[in-house]
Each structure stands twice: as structure tokens, then as C-alpha cells.
Structure 1
Amino acid sequence: MPHRSRTARPSRTSRRLTPALLASAVSVCLVAASAPAAPLGVGDRLFPYLGNPGYDVASYDLSFTYGGSNSEPLKAVTTIDAWTTTALDTVNLDFTHGEVESVTVGGVPAAFTSVDEDLVITPEDRLGAGEWTRITVRHTSDPTPDPDRDGGWVRTTDGLAMANQADVAHTVFPCNDHPSDKALFTIRVTTPNGYTAVANGLPAGVDREGDTLTRTYRTRHPMATELAQVSIGRSTVLRRTGPHDLPIRDVVPTQYRDQLEPWLEKTPAQISWMEDKVGPYPFETYGLLMADASTGFELETQTLSLFERGLFMEPAYPEWYVDSIMVHELAHQWFGDSVSPRVWSDLWLNEGHATWYEARYAEERAGRTLQARMKAAYSASDRWRATGGPPAAPKVPAHGDKIGIFRPNVYDGSALVLYALRQEIGTPAFDRLERSWVAQHQDGVAGTRDFIDLASSIAGRDLDGFFQPWLYGEKTPPMPGHPDWKPQAPPTPKAK
């Protein structure tokens, strides 16, 4: 999630699970093959039942039919192309909050059942290891709020949008709902005439049939399920050109287009600013989806970041503050979207970097000094660690409180780690690290260990001793170059 927010190309194998996760997941899968249907998971510490073992998704083809009411279930078809990574008697998909009509595997009808939040599919024939397979699920996608969680479909005043971070894409469509398994997406949305539908990626055709329109979009880069976006509403699409002829399209409620345009015209310069810092923009398009909804956050959905319209029309927010939030979500396109977390405990790499560039932008454009912000974060860091855990080992969220992992210590607390690192290795090495990180892991997944190893390589020395207390310690280490900085003590727990 973004602010207030949730915010050499790898080979195919680099997008799969880590060896440790894969080994544990496969062992669970093999046991489950001869046991009753059960929910599985890839072993994520924060979301134990998120994702599924035994296959690697190559692509999703999603079709949604919207009837004109954002309180009625959408008819939907999800087609998944995947490689099996082990022999499977059953295939688990993450899916809940919808009704399944039918399932086919390789075009052949398959048995299915729902267990907790898994759709467990039994194909007619066992799937062998390394086998290419296509799974098609006909289902509904329910936009009514799920009382047990936030996100999924977000109802706007004139339609719908998506906010799937961290673990709710599977309330919208069946999937392998973990960022370690990225895939290409084709998204088709059928609406009545008068509605506009926009999704991740670039337009790939419009079909008219009677009083409906079907718009198709395709991504050119793999995407995690939590970053999928579909906007349906009485909207206007505004187009402009960014650096290197990058197509930019913004989606706004038609009645507010004139008031929002001054904000939208800032995007090309913001992209250029980020490119100066970390290198070329990593995707085929970008834009802002300004939803007429109250979410309490903004979200870095890939190529089309989700914003509340009210953020841009609230006079109490100074211009520099709104600008910096725009840059926060933009920075996520590099950090979190193009380079996705290997496990959710790596969230600090997403939000720490987005907060870092948000703060640097505010410093350069509005004089809000980075050092002052980091000093304030240092003062609060011990309290944040006590409440939410250290940056790279956040405390497990309570059931139904998935936004509980989006605590201050993965935002300013993690940016503080990056500030300490720059103090430790110097600005030139730090800047090389940032550029190398997004270039080496573009379109892939990477985790904390990968970042430590790359930083050590660029610095020319082992940085484990530096990173361990900063990322995993209960207490905040001394800040290099600022021996006078002192953390405030956490509050003493009251006796009960």
C-alpha cells in the first residue's frame, strides 16, 4: 500500500518461489495429494495460506461483465496458463467471495470444491511435473464489501475500482495470490454504453455488441496479482506524453476533469525526476486513476496508480504534500511493482524506497529537508519497533486486519534504514546501488537477502553487520554521522 499507503532480466526460475519456500510448499502439496482437500500456502510468514505450491503462472486472462450496478456480482471468466513445478493430483487456487459455476483443466471439465479461501480443483488426469496446463474458471466476482477484510473491489460513486493489496486479489478472481508468482495479464471488461473501463497495460481492442462495449487491455510486463487494476465508471480518459514518448493516460470522474487537470499535468516531470534518480521508467504506460471514493489510502497498482479524488481537492493539504504522495506511488512502479517482494516481510523494500523518494522530492522541490524528517523518524523508531516489529520482520497482522502490516516502521522507519545506509557507504555508492537494484531485478522478485548482497558488492565489503540490527533489531542502532541523535524510549506497558 502506498503512502498513508498500503506504496539483466531474470530467468523464469527467478520468478518462482525461493528454494526454502518451494521445498516446504511441495512437501505440503505431496501430502495433500492423498489427503482430503485442504487450503495450502507457500509458507509466507505473514500470510501462511497465501499463494499455492506446485505451479508457476505464466498468464491470466480475466473477463468481467458489469451490469451497471456496483452492488451486484459481476459475471467473470478467469483463464490461467501455468507450468506445473511438481506432479499434482489437485490444483489449489486462492479464491473466495464469489460463486464458481464450472472449471475446466486443459479444456476438460474438472471437479472442484471450496475449502476456506482455496478453490481446490481435481482434474480428470493427474498433472505431471513440468506440464503446461490451462485452467478456466467461470465464476462471479462480488463487489459488496467483505466484512472480514478491506479492499478487493472498491465501490465508487459511479462504478468500481480495485485495491488488492496485500491479500485480497483472490476476492476478485481465482489466482495464485502471492507476489512471488508474477504473470502477464489480459483483462477484458464488458460494460453498458456510457461507462468507461480501463485496466493495467495498454488498450488491445474494443468490441461493440448491442448496447454493450468490451474493452481489452494487456500488460507487456509481468505483474503480481495484488497490483491488478480495473476501473469502471462514468469517467474521462485524459492522455498526454511522458519522457521518451511514454504514453500517459489518466482516468478521472468526468465532472471533475477541469479541477484535476493541473495535478495531472505534473506527472511527466515527476517521471523525469525519478528517471534521473534510478533509471528508465520500467513499464509501457503510466497514469493516475482518481477514484471518487473514500479509501483512506492511495495504491501503486501497476501502470495505473489509484488515488482518492478528494486528496487533490482538499484545501487543507499543501501542494508540496500532495506532490510528494504522487511521487511516492510513482516510485513504487520501480520499487514494489517492477521489483516485487519475494515474501511480504520484504515490504520494507517497497515502502521504504517509496517513502525515500517522496521525502527527497519534498526536499528538492519544497525545502522539506530529508535530514529533519529522518531525525524525527529516528526519535520515533524504537516506539515503532516495539509496536509493529523491526522493518524487515513486521509483526503478523491480526486476522482480517491485513493493513496491519502497513505500520510506520515500513514507511519512515524503513526510509531511515536507507538513510543510515547512505551515511555508511556514501552517496555515490548508494546511488549506484539504487540504479543497480532496479536494473538487475526488473520484472522479477527480490528480497532482503538480495539487497544486502548487492549493497555489500557495491560497497566492497560485507554489510551484514550493518544491516542485521537496522533491519531486525528490537532497538534502533546508532546513526552513522549523527552520534547526537537519540531515540525516545517506548512507553512502559501498563500493569493489568
Structure 2
Amino acid sequence: MLLSSRTPRTVALLAAGASVALLAAAAPPEPVTPLGVGDRLFPTLGNPGYDVRAYDISFTYKGDNDKPLDAVTRIDARATSRLDRVNLDFSHGTVRSVEVNGAPADFATGGEDLVVTPARPLVAGQPLHITVRHTSDPRPGKEEVGWVRTKDGLAMANQADAAHRVFPCNDHPSDKAMFTFRVNTPQKYTAVANGLPTSLTPGAGDTTDWTYRTAHPMATELAQVSIGRSTVLHQKGPHGLPVRDVVPTKDVKALRPWVDKTPAQLAWMENKIGRYPFENYGVLIAEASTGFELETQTLSLFERDLFVRTEYPAWYVESVMVHELAHQWFGDSVSPRTWSDLWLNEGHATWYEALYAQEKADRPMETRMRNAYRESDGWRASGGAPAAPKGPTHGEKISIFRPVVYDGSALVLYALRQEIGARKFERLERRWVATHRDATATTADFTALASRVAGRDLSGFFQQWLYAKKTPPMPGHPDWKSAAVRGKAGK
């Protein structure tokens, strides 16, 4: 995700808001408790005891983005331990019924968890098939999260932990799964989602049924479903890659020159780090005010304003497009094991954004990194070190997305390239995305691979650059200085 720094906006990020109580059919005999997978930044996010293999999610949209959608979420999982109860993350809809392995199950809520009690306890290794019939509410609670209401419909924006405001899930990037989306809309609407379309058929009455399926596993935060009066533009990328761009129908003429840049940007990224990792790619342009752009897998979400407001230089707009494209490798294909590994996503996307601006628009990387170095101590003071970010402010989960994970983390990569040389750095980048493709990885995985590629132990280097309160000296630039920290630093 790229937080908008475009005037007049300030750095902001969509994140989860207040929960809305679900209607429970029957409470279990003991109080229900929200669980988590132990994430340092979000202790109750995700759920232990099972591994999700696939989601099959159906939405019925009736043409009003201010009313709940009818929905059915089917989860194909496997128990990894004995389970008397199964916790799912879900907090912004009404649950009508739950089945586990074909039998009705009791359910209740605890915090932002939907807690399901199957008729019989589950044992480790047992298949776990859950069907939840529910609503999916696009109306915002304390914060507008999950569904984003656009001028002509809806789009989805689930980072960092907002997918569970749209559908029941194991809402943590460590549990990636395959996805199928089935969307019923009035005929005048177009529905798009992650992955490839598998069917387009008439629905009941004057409606259309749209079905999409991913070919690679995906984290819940990267799910995308958009419904609107849109046109889908098709072109070919490198080696025949399907490229589909989705734009408001009324803006096709104005936006086509921008989306036509996508194939060349794909080729540029492939030249840097290897073949694009997914089945297709494209840009989804929505008429909404969000304050960010988002790397939803295979279909990056952008605000219309980015492309139509004349004060944004072309080089800047293109570098923002490349930021989200780079995330398809860094964050989507290779996903963070925990949210403390976020610097690997945003640092790399910022790196390639800056490199593209240098090569295509003569905006020197060194100048940007020198400026980042000057601010780095302030960023660390306010947000923590890149790989040890401070926890979110109470009630403000967006606060983990601070400047230190963007330019502050790209600065770490710049220092690494200075330390090991450009050739080894480029080799490391290619090996990283190839080794962990379709998987999750940690900061420790990255630092270990860097040491192997460099041919020497870099643990001391990374300890300082990733965890220290103060920014270490920049290799090759002993004259670079950090500004004195005065109160809270900002971007």
C-alpha cells in the first residue's frame, strides 16, 4: 500500500475500525473469548488450531451501496490441533447460520471473533468445512474499512486487518489460501475480483452472476471485489500475460492513456527481479476518496483523483503505479509472516518506486535516500525501528503504517546495497522472490539469505539497521547526518 503524501493529504492508511455485534443463534455454555496467532502488533488477529486451504465467498448486491449484502462464506480448512471451538474473525455483519462439516453449529461472538461450537470436537488432521450464512455490511462503523463505498458501487480494501469486516475468515497474512468469489449484481453493473474469471452467466431476473478464482494462494488482506458501472480494458503484458484494467465507464477516454502504461511497467519490473508471479494483473480505478492506493492481489486499487488531478506530475503518478505493482512480488507473492515484517513489503515497494523515478524521470535515488537519512532518527523515535515497529495507538490500528516502514525501510535496502555492492544486492532480490514465492517469510529469512548471497555474516549490520533506535552511519556516505529529533517526527 502507498499512503498518499499528495497535497493536501497527510499520511493515512485504511485499517480496522470498531466492531459491530453479530446476532448469535445460541450461546455456548462458557463465555467466548477472542483468540489470536500471537502477532506482536495485533494479539487477537488470526486464529490458532486450523489451516485454511480455500475460501468460496458469494455476495448478492442489489444496487444500493448503503445496505448490507447477503453473503455466504464457505471455508475449506484442516484442523491442526484438537478443537472444541473454532474461532473466526468477523465483526461487521449479521450471522444467520453456521454449519461445520455439514451439521448445524452453535455460534456466538467475543470481541471481533465469531466463535463456532461444532456438534462434535475436531481432532488434529481432520477436514474442517465451515459454511457461514451472513450479511456483509458496507456501511462504516467507527472507521470506513473493508468495503469502500465508491460513487457507483463498492470496492474492497482490507489492509491491515479489515477483511473480517467483509467476510468470516482467518484474518492474518500467515494463513494464505485460494479464493473463489461469486457475485450477483443487477445487469447494469460490472463485478471484478482477484484472479481469473471462470464464468459469466445470467442470474435470476435482471441480474448477472460473476465468478472469479485465484490461481495462487492469497492473504485475506489482499482480497478484492469491486462492483460498479465499469469497463474492463484488456491488453497483453510480457510473455502474453493477461492484463485487465478496470475503470469507470464514463472515464475510459481520460484514463486509457494511464492504464496503457501497465505492460511496460510490468516489463520493467520483470527486468529487475524476474517473472511476474501471478496469473494476470491490472489496475482498478475507483471513484472514491480513501487517501491511499492498495496492492490487492492481481488487481491494484487506485483512486481516480490520482490520474485526473493536474497538479500531480506524470513521473509521480507512474512511480505510484510501480509502487503497487512491486507489491505483487513483495507483500503479495512473498507475504509477511507477522505484521512486524511489514518493512519487507513497504520498504521494497518504496525502493522500486524510487528506482523507477530515477531511471524514467531523472529523480536521483541518492537524493531521496539522503533526505530519508536526515529524517530517519525522527522516524525511529516516533514509530520504532523498521523491523521492530511500535504497536498501534489504542483504537488506531492504522498507526503501524508510519514513515519508518516506507522511506525509512527503503533506506535500509540502500544501506545494504552500499554494503554488499549492486550486483550481489540484485542477486539477493531475485533469489528472495523466487525462494519464497506463494509463501510467507520473516525478517530473519531475509537477513539469512542476504548473508548467504554476500558470502559473509551480516547479522551485525542488520541488527543496527533494523532494530537500533538510532540510524547507523551510511556505508560510503560518512558525511550524511540525521537531523536532531524534536518532538514527533513526520513524513
CA distance in 2 between partners of 1:134 and 1:380 (Å): 50
CA distance in 1 between partners of 2:3 and 2:139 (Å): 25
2:308 aligned residue (313, 319, 324): 313
CA distance in 2 between partners of 1:34 and 1:459 (Å): 57
Question: Which amino acid in 2 is paired with 1:186?
Answer: T
Contact 2:274–2:430 at 8 Å: present in 1 too?
Answer: yes
Matches within 5 A, 1:11-50: 36-50=31-45
CA distance in 1 between partners of 2:261 and 2:209 (Å): 31
CA distance in 1 between partners of 2:79 and 2:139 (Å): 34
Say whether 1:186 aligns with 2:191. Answer: no
Matches within 5 A, 1:97-176: 97-147=92-142, 149-176=143-170
RMSD: 1.3
Q: Structure 1 residue 250: deviation in Å?
A: 0.7
Counterpart secondary structure, 1:420? helix
Match of 1:328? 323
Matches within 5 A, 1:218-229: 218-229=213-224
Say whether 1:428 aligns with 2:420. Answer: no
Identity of aligned residues (%): 69
Match of 2:291? 296
Contact 1:339–1:444 at 8 Å: present in 2 too?
Answer: yes
Question: Which amino acid in 2 is paired with 1:325?
Answer: V
CA distance in 2 between partners of 1:3 and 1:329 (Å): 11
Say whether 1:85 aligns with 2:80. Answer: yes
Counterpart secondary structure, 1:481? coil
Contact 1:55–1:83 at 8 Å: present in 2 too?
Answer: yes
Say whether 1:450 aligns with 2:459. Answer: no
> Deviation per CA, 1:168-195, whole angstroms, max 9, x where unpaired?
1000000000000000000000001100
Contact 1:6–1:298 at 8 Å: present in 2 too?
Answer: no
Structure-2 change in CA distance of 1:293 and 1:474 (3 Å): same
CA distance in 2 between partners of 1:323 and 1:421 (Å): 26
Question: Which amino acid in 1 is paired with 2:358?
Answer: E
Q: Structure 1 residue 34: deviation in Å?
A: 10
Contact 1:105–1:134 at 8 Å: present in 2 too?
Answer: yes
CA distance in 2 between partners of 1:136 and 1:308 (Å): 34
CA distance in 1 between partners of 2:201 and 2:362 (Å): 50
> Deviation per CA, 1:29-84, whole angstroms, max 9, x where unpaired?
xxxx9963210000111111100000000000000000100000000000000011
Match of 2:22? none
Structure-2 change in CA distance of 1:247 and 1:103 (3 Å): same
Structure-2 change in CA distance of 1:226 and 1:492 (3 Å): closer
> Deviation per CA, 1:368-418, whole angstroms, max 9, x where unpaired?
000000000000000000111111111111233222111111000000000
2:47 aligned residue (42, 52, 63): 52
> Deviation per CA, 1:447-471, whole angstroms, max 9, x where unpaired?
1000000000111111110001111
Counterpart secondary structure, 1:306? strand
Question: Which amino acid in 1 is paired with 2:260?
Answer: E
Match of 1:439? 434
Counterpart secondary structure, 2:460? helix
CA distance in 1 between partners of 2:322 and 2:173 (Å): 22
Matches within 5 A, 1:197-212: 197-209=191-203, 210-212=205-207
Contact 2:194–2:213 at 8 Å: present in 1 too?
Answer: yes
Say whether 1:412 aligns with 2:407. Answer: yes
Match of 1:477? 472
Contact 2:13–2:291 at 8 Å: present in 1 too?
Answer: no
TM-score normalized by the length of structure 1: 0.93
CA distance in 2 between partners of 1:367 and 1:193 (Å): 47
Counterpart secondary structure, 1:252? strand
Contact 1:3–1:329 at 8 Å: present in 2 too?
Answer: no
TM-score normalized by the length of structure 2: 0.94
CA distance in 2 between partners of 1:34 and 1:42 (Å): 24
CA distance in 1 between partners of 2:442 and 2:89 (Å): 23
Counterpart secondary structure, 2:218? coil
Question: Which amino acid in 2 is paired with 1:346?
Answer: D
Counterpart secondary structure, 1:359? helix
Deviates more, 1:396-405 or 1:34-43: 34-43
1:379 aligned residue (365, 374, 383): 374
Match of 1:14? none
Deviates more, 1:157-166 or 1:398-407: 398-407
Question: Which amino acid in 2 is paired with 1:465?
Answer: G
CA distance in 2 between partners of 1:350 and 1:299 (Å): 12
Match of 1:268? 263
Contact 1:377–1:412 at 8 Å: present in 2 too?
Answer: yes
Question: Which amino acid in 1 is paired with 2:195?
Answer: G
Q: Structure 1 residue 204: deviation in Å?
A: 0.6
Contact 1:250–1:264 at 8 Å: present in 2 too?
Answer: yes
Counterpart secondary structure, 1:87? coil
Counterpart secondary structure, 1:138? strand
Q: Structure 1 residue 492: deviation in Å?
A: 5.1
Match of 1:361? 356
Contact 1:356–1:415 at 8 Å: present in 2 too?
Answer: yes
Say whether 1:235 aligns with 2:230. Answer: yes
Question: Which amino acid in 1 is paired with 2:149?
Answer: R
Question: Which amino acid in 2 is paired with 1:259?
Answer: A
Match of 2:7? none
> Deviation per CA, 1:171-225, whole angstroms, max 9, x where unpaired?
0000000000000000000001100000000001012122111100000000000
Say whether 1:73 aligns with 2:68. Answer: yes
Deviates more, 1:400-409 or 1:287-296: 400-409
Aligned residues: 467
Question: Which amino acid in 2 is paired with 1:491?
Answer: R
Question: Which amino acid in 1 is paired with 2:191?
Answer: A
Structure-2 change in CA distance of 1:175 and 1:492 (3 Å): closer
Contact 2:3–2:291 at 8 Å: present in 1 too?
Answer: no
Contact 2:351–2:413 at 8 Å: present in 1 too?
Answer: yes
